[in-house]
Amino acid sequence: MKNSTTKIIVNFLNNQSDIKELEFLLNWISDEDNFILFKQFISIHHYSNLIMNHSDKESIIREIKKKIKSDRLKKDEKKFILREASKYAAIVVVSICVGYYLDNSKISSKPINELLPSKISLQKSNGEKIILDESSENSIDLEDDVILKKELKTISYNEVNNINSLKFNTIEVPYGKRFNVRLSDNTLVFLNSGSSLKFPVKFIQGQERKVYLQGEAFFEVTHNKELFTVESPGAIATVYGTKFNFKNYQEDPFSEVILTEGSVGLKSSFYMQKPVTIKPNFKAELNKVENNIEVVQVNTKLYTSWIDGKTVFRNENIDNLILKLERLYNVSITNNNQKLSNKFFNATIFVENETIEDVLEYLKEVYKIDYQFINNKIVIK
């Protein structure tokens, strides 16, 4: 693909095309081979709402035609401006992935050492702690002669049989790590960085299935007649069988549930209120200060992509960007550039393959953010 065509696609995705470029793109993707190239380019270099929501050529062509028509009207009125990405449901500001801009030769800084405890640990009901990510064993002995299966980044309790009372284990996942737990009812839990999950070694038949979460996790809940409850400081989610993302970090002013399948209810744990029930492709956000819940429709992939090793930033302010990067990479970042407070950032990070240095080089290349390492910390200048 020619560099000029690549530039036109990038301008289109970042809502910076002029009418001439849009007309060229409309004609270019009418060819089936070019349209395949267009989709391949986006899948490699972008994590795009356009492709997520409209993978067929007709929908994309309609969007381009609509944009051309609107731009012409604005030009006729002599008020042609670049539109803000938030005005479009289907064409959103899309970031070019970090690797597209990456030039490793520019990185002269020494690797950043881990700043916080960075070992994934399992605390048994008797208080004993096991470091999971250092163990090379395929099985772990628990009390009561229970043998626990350990696979790649996953620990499984679904074959626990000889326990007849509630005994809790707790898995703690530090910043910079991710880990999975398969519970005794076969429910699968993906734990994100900086999270902990307390759960029964075995759920007791006839009793509510309840786990305790701090941080963020994606749940694939096995359906059965017993209610499944996720309790977190200030928030409670209840389900029977469903797939959803639950996020509740202590430092965040909100808790949120994003539902991808089934049905889930969210309520404050401080009030005896009826849970607010949401449907798939909706987000319920609980304000921890006002204890009110707002429900909005969302693109769930933007919230759940971390399960597949991608983290998507869309229209993030600098404070949220820094907070998430600290969680992802277990680093400390200080912002000394107040001019960045009015900017919004977009990026897609492939966490397993890209280091914090890669991300910083991307931000420097695209957003002109300058930084340096001081005493093992990152300082934005």
- pLDDT tens-digit series, residues 348-368: 888 888 899 989 988 888 888
**What does the block give as tokens for 140?**
């772990």
> Which among 269, 303, 298 has a CA at the least distance from the CA of 286?
269
Sign of CA dihedral 61, 65, 71, 75: positive
Distance CA 252, CA 192 (A): 15
pLDDT one-digit tens code per residue, 248-298:
998 898 999 999 999 999 998 887 678 899 999 999 999 988 888 999 999
pLDDT at position 222 is 93
pLDDT at position 193 is 94
**What does the block give as tokens for 63?**
């969007």
Other residues' Cβ atoms within 10 Å of the Cβ of residue 250: 11
Residue 116: C-alpha distances to residues 180, 197, 375 (Å): 21, 19, 15
User: Which residue type occupies 139?
Assistant: S
Q: Which CATH architecture has domain 121-302?
A: Sandwich (2.60)
Q: Which CATH class is domain 104-113+303-380?
A: alpha beta
Angle, CA of 307, 213 and 312, to the nearest 5°: 30
For 95, the 3-state DSSP assignment is coil
148: exposed, middle or buried (C-beta count within 10 Å: 0-12, 13-18, 19+)?
buried
Averaged pLDDT for residues 27-33? 83
pLDDT at residue 230 tops 80: yes
pLDDT at position 117 is 53
pLDDT one-digit tens code per residue, 306-349:
998 888 888 889 999 999 999 999 999 999 998 888 888 888 88
**CB within 8 A of 218, min separation 6: which ones?**
189, 190, 192, 243, 244, 245, 246, 304, 307
- Domain ranges (residues) in the chain: 3-94, 104-113+303-380, 121-302
Distance CA 287, CA 273 (A): 14
Confidence bin at 50 (pLDDT 50/70/90): very low
Averaged pLDDT for residues 197-223? 94
pLDDT at residue 144 tops 80: no
Place of tokens 């400390």: 332
**How much of the chain exceeds pLDDT 90, in percent?**
36
pLDDT at position 145 is 57
pLDDT at residue 51 tops 70: no
- Contact indicator for 261, 218 with CB cutoff of 8 Å: no
Distance CA 146, CA 194 (A): 28
pLDDT one-digit tens code per residue, 63-121:
666 666 665 555 544 333 333 333 332 333 333 333 333 333 333 334 444 445 578 99
- Contact indicator for 148, 360 with CB cutoff of 8 Å: no
pTM of the model: 0.69
pLDDT at position 280 is 94
**What does the block give as tokens for 312?**
């998507």
Place of tokens 């639950």: 246
Distance CA 257, CA 246 (A): 5
pLDDT at position 246 is 97
For 188, the 3-state DSSP assignment is strand
Higher pLDDT, 377 or 99: 377
Higher pLDDT, 63 or 136: 63
* Average pLDDT of the chain to the nearest whole number: 78
Higher pLDDT, 140 or 289: 289
Residue 103 is classified by DSSP as -
